[in-house]
Structure 1
Amino acid sequence: MTEVRTRPHPIASVSDVVAYIDSRPAIKGRALAIWWLALGGLFLDAYANSALSAGLASLNEDLGLAAGQTALLTASASVFSLLFNPIGGWLADRYGRIPPLIAAKILALAGAAVAAFAPSFEIVVAGRVLVGAAYGIDFAIAMAVLAEMTPARFKNRLNVWQGVWYTAVSANLLLAIAFHRLGAGLDIWRFSLGSAGVIAAALLVLQLALMVESPSWLARKGRLPEAAERMGRIYGGNFEAAAAPDTSGVPDTADRGMANVALLFRGTYLPRTVLAGTISVGQALQYFAVGWYLPIISLQMFGADFVFATLGTLVFNLFGIVGGFSAPAVGKRLGLRRASAIGFGVVFVILLAMGLTFDRLPLWAAFLLPSVFILAHSAGPGANGKSVSALSFRSELRATANGVIGALGSLGTVLGLFLFPLVQEAVGLPATFLLVSVVPLVCCVICSAVKWEPTRAAVNPDEELDAPQFAR
């Protein structure tokens, strides 16, 4: 009997890779494993960030920190995230997605161990610096991997990362309550920070075993045999590199390393950069000035009982889970830009209400307003800064763009984390809410003015003929 052989899928350019991925009816098999492992890295990033938040009150009491020290500690990870976002993006666009992802898990594991066993404030800061570097590297690359592994019809699903974020935060809060019940006392912060190392170790093993280099990135770099081999590993089909690359109909490869950053501020990419950067900075500033400090805010709102205040924070974050996992549907219906504009508008109204009525809020309103804040944030701008960035630029520029825009978001994070305790101490919580409300108002206006919508684009960014180019 003659053996029937499957005709190989030819890979002559990145367009062939994109077309095959876009033709897939679902994300399944090895592709699904890679997809969830990339999201797993974002779970770790969220968990490691919120680990300090959940234990901040006990850490402050244990180490006797002043407001300035608290501000420095909470901002340290974000400062280094800001620095390592573009570095991670550059590494991923130059050398591939997988090596920096693995390096990020090693840094996260080391940072968790250093911080958890730290004998002093300075060593805790050192551990958080490592965590920030890991977060900066990982986030830029993980979102690029998700964008490159997702068929066009499912692009809105990138916003699932926001639901994963709040799931990680909620898991950390539940563990904090468990540690409290087990008698951890003021060492709650050590257990909370150290548990992030366990997750980092598990992800390190799984990503080493199962992650595969992005075929889209390989094809855009002209490494067609490797792209075909990775397509076979991921999708199980028969793929074959074309004898000669097809360079017609696609923009030239941007191959000048960090000089690629200049492309983000040219031509068709400029409004995309403005939109993604605005959403990234705005959502980070409003979240990390308010949402991240919800355990501290809850203590002021609901009293000094740790369990009750932590449960209050958990309720707020359950709204984040609902909003985060509904973000793909919201983005599909409204578009990522409109969803962001509306979300910023709702957050502005909530912060205004909290600032004007904080001292006389009934208990039900004290729960409702922060809950709606988190819901509107997570269903709209909270997810979209990363997603707009990941979907707006071509493959060999995508991680660099994510890194630069992520660095802008980290700048917002640093400002939120560093300024909140100082401003709160100076003017009080209600006035702080009023000051922060200016941020979503400005972002709402900008998102309404810029018209780029990546989920409605007719052409994949890898195939745009008007993509900005370096002079040859």
Structure 2
Amino acid sequence: MSTGPGARRFDERRLLVALFGAGTAAFAQLYSPQSVLPDAARELATSASATSLLVSAATLGLAVGVVPWAWVADRVGRVRAMTVAMLGATAVGLAVPFAPSFELLVAGRAVEGLFVAGVPAVAMAYLTEMLIDAGATAMVPRAAGTYVAGTSMGGLLGRLVSGGVAELFGWRAGVGAVAAACLIATAVFVWLAPRDRGPRPGATGHPDTSGAAPGRAGRLRALLSPRLLVLDAQGLLLMGGFVAIYNYLGFRLTDAPVGLSSGVVSLVFLAYLAGTWSSARTGRLVVRHGRRRVLIVSAGVMALGVVATLSAWLPLVLAGLVVLTAGFFGAHAVASGWTPVAAPQARTQAAAVYNLAYYAGSSLFGWLGGVAFALAGWPGTVAMVLALVVVAAGLAAAVLRDQRA
């Protein structure tokens, strides 16, 4: 499959720009309804926790889809798998706003998430393998940070575009506009992505005779190692808390006494720029201080930001949002980039399992945050998120060590 000039030879810059485009295309669509949830709740006459299913259904679909997409990528090639996934997600994303009922909206979002899963399921393993094969292993932390920066930029653009368009044409038009815009980011990836190895040895049913591929038991042992399980827990817990904050902060800010409009609330997601900055910066910090320390400090920064959102003073709430976003994306960049490096004999599977945990956390705790919000208001949501962050940081401190993998 041709992927444009980038397919002719490996180019590290093309790889980084292509993956930035892939992250943008995938995550703009995934989170585009988040800034318009209050508008959707009013039109659909649904509760905050029920309406959040427009986000949670997509992330659940993504969680279910990451492992199958990893399997597909091993058989058809990673670039081809990611291309099909992004085109499929965009096609479904264009159709979802026309769904006539809440149930069909949720179902459509779940299917959209299944397609989006093809990007995170493969991207980290793809970039790690390409850089290691090119003798640029030292670039892996920075490249992982660049990809995560693309995911944060996609999340930001999806929320801003949907919120801005919703002010003029309604929330359905806002969500559809994001899917249309993602065609451009998809084209960037298709044009620039360097060609990967293609199908993995033994993936098509023919045995690998090189002696290099580990057996199924070896891969399973790697995936169940304490280090991999704790890295997966980082995704599960930190992502769950992060999505809960962003899902329900909009309800707090549109309700009295703040009373902001949905268009203004969508500007709150400019805090994602802090995540773009921190994830790109994380690679340098890892080289200087080690993955474990940067991960734990990033979780602590996230916790400080979460506490600040309890304030009744809007500027402090917004500052807290910036801080927690920077902390979360820093931690995510470390954990997601560490995972394929820590399991060299099962990179694709390790990245897929991490993403399974990551988006399962988003779906589960993204919904449970609404239950806490209904029971105890914003302090209830904050308490749940703080508990998740503390557990994640404690596990990292107890189990993870900086080792060359």
TM-score by length of 1: 0.74
Distance 1:209 1:163, change over 3 A: closer
* Deviation of 1:84 (Å): 0.8
For this pair of structures, how many residues does the alignment match?
387
Secondary structure of 1:221's aligned partner = coil
* Deviation of 1:327 (Å): 2.0
- Quick one: distance in 1 between partners of 2:139 and 2:13? 13
1:81 aligns with 2:62: yes
Counterpart position of 2:358: 409
Counterpart position of 2:101: 120
Q: Is the 8 A contact 2:232 2:358 kept in 1?
A: yes
Aligned residues with identical type, % of pairs: 20
Q: Indicate the structure (1 or 2) with the bigger Cα radius of gyration.
A: 1
Amino acid across the alignment from 1:262 = L
The correspondence for 1:152, drawn from 137, 140, 143, is: 137
Counterpart position of 1:393: 343
* Deviation of 1:131 (Å): 1.6
Which sections of structure 1, spanning at least 5 residues, go unmatched? 1-27, 224-244, 462-472
Counterpart position of 1:253: 213
1:326 aligns with 2:281: yes
Amino acid across the alignment from 2:325 = I
Amino acid across the alignment from 1:162 = V
Counterpart position of 1:303: 259
Q: Give the alignment of 1:261-300 within 5 angstroms.
A: 262-265=220-223, 270-300=225-255
Q: Is the 8 A contact 1:104 1:137 kept in 2?
A: yes
The correspondence for 2:319, drawn from 338, 363, 368, is: 368
- Quick one: distance in 1 between partners of 2:138 and 2:315? 40
Q: Give the alignment of 1:58-457 within 5 angstroms.
A: 58-150=39-131, 151-157=136-142, 158-176=144-162, 178-180=164-166, 183-184=168-169, 187=170, 189-215=171-197, 221=201, 252-254=212-214, 256=216, 262-265=220-223, 270-300=225-255, 302-311=258-267, 313-352=268-307, 354=309, 358=310, 361-379=312-330, 381-394=331-344, 397-453=346-402, 457=404
Distance 1:204 1:430, change over 3 A: closer
Which sections of structure 2, spanning at least 5 residues, go unmatched? 1-8
Q: Which stretch shows the higher mean deviation, 273-282 or 205-214?
A: 205-214
* Deviation of 1:175 (Å): 2.2
Secondary structure of 1:254's aligned partner = coil
Secondary structure of 2:119's aligned partner = helix
Secondary structure of 1:407's aligned partner = helix
RMSD: 2.8
* Deviation of 1:261 (Å): 5.4
Amino acid across the alignment from 2:264 = F
Counterpart position of 2:5: none
Q: Is the 8 A contact 1:303 1:309 kept in 2?
A: no
Any idea what the Cα deviations from partners look like across 1:249-278, whole Å, max 9, x if unmatched?
A: xx741355xx77523345xxx133123212
* Deviation of 1:48 (Å): 1.0
TM-score by length of 2: 0.85
Distance 1:179 1:206, change over 3 A: closer
Distance 1:96 1:452, change over 3 A: farther
